[in-house]
Amino acid sequence: MNILLSALLALAAASSSAMHVHLTRAEPASGSTVHAAPTAIRLWFSEEIQISVTTVRLTGPDSARVELAAPAMGDGAHAPVVVLVSGTIKPGRQQVAWRTMSRDGHAVSGTFAFTLTSAAGTAARR
Q: What integer pLDDT is reported at residue 14 of this predicted model?
A: 40
In a domain? residue 51? yes
In a domain? residue 29? yes
Q: What integer pLDDT is reported at residue 19 of this predicted model?
A: 63
In a domain? residue 62? yes
Q: What integer pLDDT is reported at residue 63 of this predicted model?
A: 93
Which band of pLDDT confidence, cut at 50, 70 and 90, is reported for residue 124? very low
Model pLDDT for residues 30-87, shown as the tens digit of each residue? 999 999 999 999 999 999 999 999 999 999 999 999 999 999 998 877 899 999 999 9
> How many angstroms separate the CA atoms of 34 and 118, rounded?
8
Which band of pLDDT confidence, cut at 50, 70 and 90, is reported for residue 119? low
> How many angstroms separate the CA atoms of 100 and 94, rounded?
20
Query: The domain containing residue 53 runs over which residues?
Result: 21-116
Check which CATH number belongs to the domain holding 60 and give it. Answer: 2.60.40.1220
Model pLDDT for residues 5-45, shown as the tens digit of each residue? 344 444 444 434 456 899 999 999 999 999 999 999 999 99
Q: What integer pLDDT is reported at residue 75 of this predicted model?
A: 82
> How many angstroms separate the CA atoms of 103 and 98, rounded?
16
* DSSP letter for each residue of 62-109: TSPEEPBPPPEE-SSTTPPEEEEB-SBPPSEEEEEEEEEEBTTS-EEE
Q: What integer pLDDT is reported at residue 120 of this predicted model?
A: 55
In a domain? residue 30? yes
- Domain total for the chain? 1
Q: What integer pLDDT is reported at residue 1 of this predicted model?
A: 53
In a domain? residue 67? yes
